[in-house]
Amino acid sequence: FLIAMSTDTPLVGIDFGTTNTVVHFVKNGKVEHYSFAQNSDLLPTKVFYKGGERLITGQKGNWIQNGYGVVKNVKRAIGKRFDEEDHDHDEEMFGTAPKKGADGLYWFTLDDGKDYSCVDIASMIFKEILELLRKRVGQELSDAVISVPANFNTTKRSLITQAATSVGWNVLSIINEPSAAAVAASVEKNMNGLILVFDLGGGTLDVTVLEVVGDKYKVRASFGDPNLGGNDFDMALLEMVQEDFRKAFNREMFAGISPKRLQKKKLQLMDSLIEQKEMLNTTTSITVDVSDYADDDERDIVITKDKYIHRCRPLLERCMDVVQKALALVTPKVPRNDIRHVILVGGGSCFPTIDQRLTNEFPSAEIYGEKRMELVAKGCAQCGKMRLRPDFHVFDQLTTTIAILMDPEPYPVFKAGTAFPSSLKMNLETDEPGATSFEMTLVEMRGEKINDYHKLCSIVSSEFSAKETEHKRLEFIFNLSDDGILSVQTYTLPERRLCVNNTDISIAL
């Protein structure tokens, strides 16, 4: 991670979160926090809409009462194939029911009748951030270091980059969120040695073990769950309220509500529950007013902290399972007592009992839970600020295996744990004599099971000719960038004529 540019150039560190976005900027060598509307440290990662109008900042007020629709949590859906996901709580999760696009990914229809991809929605937010910051930092601002979850695959990284660059950002680098958090915390507290970062955001969980020596940050192992985050704890609370309602009234909570009012009612309930969930960090219970659904002037459901924690036990066990898997990947193995610091990142890490569970797991470590929502953005800005130091490096690695789909099993190109950047050459030939095209399917593998994979993309090489009896030979060059983004070039042999140049693998979706 090394960027050659003037230190006088202002730049921004962006933690584009599932639920909220946080920004720090560097100007004249100083790292500063940016406050959004109403002096809020957080910008909701949401797009509000009404009558073709886009409203992105200053939105926490009465947007539901004022009739605005919303698209939220798009980071959780970006790059995912619609048919591979569960859609039980789509409307509650995303605010607006998604649909399957022509590319097989998530799309959203807004009230202007147009369809928007996750990249389109994300770009609206990136544009708003750029316009706001230019007013304060300077019109020349365009450079950014942007963080992504460590478990984001090459497609998701590419799409986040596209969303930012499409509206004027010059993306200097993509950095993994746990690595950025480790940079920020270690600079602030002068940490060295083995550090474990537990990053539970709105939509993903990453657990990363880094070794910090001075200004060198080497990822020793990383494991994540791309389908586990604060959103899931929100859904658990929603299900508890719905179950208690069902027991009290012997009917479903949203039964009898007209389709026209249903979306608004769901949004109101989820918005209220998300705010009240945070109260359980400091109170023993919350009271949920369900009068609007019970046809009763005064009707409440009480959820206790203990009951909520018990309900979320399977989610907590999944969290700790990710911790164990990340530790198991460290080579050579390290005793738990060698972990000197545990850094907590993300709003989801505030959940009751998580601190204690990690303290029990790592009794010799110092638990660092300060500024959980700011660390990643601050780390991005710090990385940008320190970019010209010859001794500053962040050595990140691939968290999944990228493989070619072959019979009888996928053939690994880059195995999990491969350091960024990396390159590989491979020669293959067409299956049939005289064939003038060659299709390769790339898959992403998690874990050791050979059948545990999903498709990343297909790459078709067709710009060549061959004799009727010839099996055409092709040279494939796979490159994994510093940002963890895959590109593929294909050359015919022996001519070495370029027939595929996928500099951004997501275009091959």
471-508 pLDDT per residue, tens: 899 999 999 999 999 999 999 999 999 988 887 666 55
**Facing residues of 99 across strands?**
107
Q: Is the pLDDT of residue 326 over 50?
A: yes
Q: With bands split at pLDDT 50, 70 and 90, how would you rate the model's confidence at 450?
A: low
Q: List pLDDT tens digits, range 390-419.
A: 899 999 999 989 999 988 889 999 999 999
Averaged pLDDT, 316-344: 95
pLDDT surpassing 80 at residue 260 = no
Which pLDDT does position 1 carry in this prediction?
46
Single-letter amino acid, residue 193: G
Q: How many other C-beta atoms can be found within 10 angstroms of the C-beta atom of residue 410?
A: 21
Q: At what angle do helices 154-165 and 118-137 cross, to 10 degrees?
A: 50
Nearest to 174 by CA among 343, 376, 357, 375: 376
Cβ atoms within 10 Å, residue 272: 15
Q: How does DSSP classify residue 34?
A: P
3-state helix/strand/coil string of 367-414: EECCCCCCHHHHHHHHHHHCCCCCCCEEECECCCEEEECCCCCCEEEE
DSSP state of 282: T
According to the model, what pLDDT value does residue 324 have? 96
CA dihedral 290, 293, 296, 301 (to 10 degrees): -20
Nearest in space to 218 (alpha carbons), one of 193, 201, 187: 193
Q: How many angstroms separate the CA atoms of 284 and 303, rounded?
A: 9
Dihedral sign (CA 220, 339, 199, 22): negative
Identify the pLDDT of residue 461. 85
389 or 119: which leads in pLDDT: 119
Question: pLDDT tens for residues 24-62?
Answer: 999 888 999 999 877 788 899 999 998 888 877 655 567
Give a three-class secondary structure readout of 87-115: CCCHHHHHCCCEEECCCCEEEEECCCCCE
Which residues sit opposite 461 in a β-bridge? 438
Q: Are β-strands 143-148 and 411-414 bridged in parallel, bridged antiparallel, or unpaired?
A: unpaired
pLDDT value at position 4?
42
Give me the pLDDT at residue 6, please.
47
Residue 460 · residue 438 · CB < 8 Å: yes
Helix axes 354-361, 313-328, angle to 10 degrees: 30
What percent of the chain is modeled with pLDDT above 90? 67
Q: Name every residue whose Cβ is closer than 8 Å to that of residue 455 and which is 6 or more positions away in sequence.
A: 81, 405, 441, 442, 443
pLDDT digits over 335-374, tens only? 999 999 999 999 999 998 999 999 999 999 999 999 999 9
Cα radius of gyration rounded to whole Å, the chain:
24
Rounded Cα distance, 413 and 404, in Å: 7
The stretches of 100-227 forming alpha helices (DSSP H) are: 118-137, 154-165, 177-189
pLDDT in tens, 150-191: 999 999 999 999 999 999 999 999 999 999 999 999 999 999
The pLDDT value given to residue 469: 86
Assess whether pLDDT exceeds 80 at residue 8.
Answer: no
Exposed/middle/buried for 195, CB within 10 Å: 0-12, 13-18, 19+? buried
The percent of residues above 70 in pLDDT, for the chain, comes to 94
Position 3 scores a pLDDT of 42
Looking at residue 453, what is its pLDDT?
A: 86
Asked if the model's pLDDT at residue 436 lies above 60, the reply is: yes
94-125 pLDDT per residue, tens = 999 999 999 999 999 998 889 999 999 999 99
**Region 237-250: what's the mean pLDDT?**
93
Half-sphere exposure of 387 (CA within 13 A, CB side): 26
Mean per-residue pLDDT over the chain, rounded: 90
- Do the beta carbons of residue 108 and residue 92 sit within 8 Å? no
pLDDT average, residue stretch 229-257: 92
Phi and psi torsions of 312, nearest 5°: -90, 5
Listed in order, strand segments (DSSP E) in 214-345 are 216-225, 285-289, 300-304, 339-345
Segment 138-157 shows an average pLDDT of 94
- pLDDT tens per residue across span 273-305: 988 888 888 899 999 988 888 776 668 899 999
Model pLDDT, residue 198: 98
What pLDDT score was predicted for residue 7?
53
Are 220 and 182 contacting, i.e. CB atoms less than 8 angstroms apart?
no
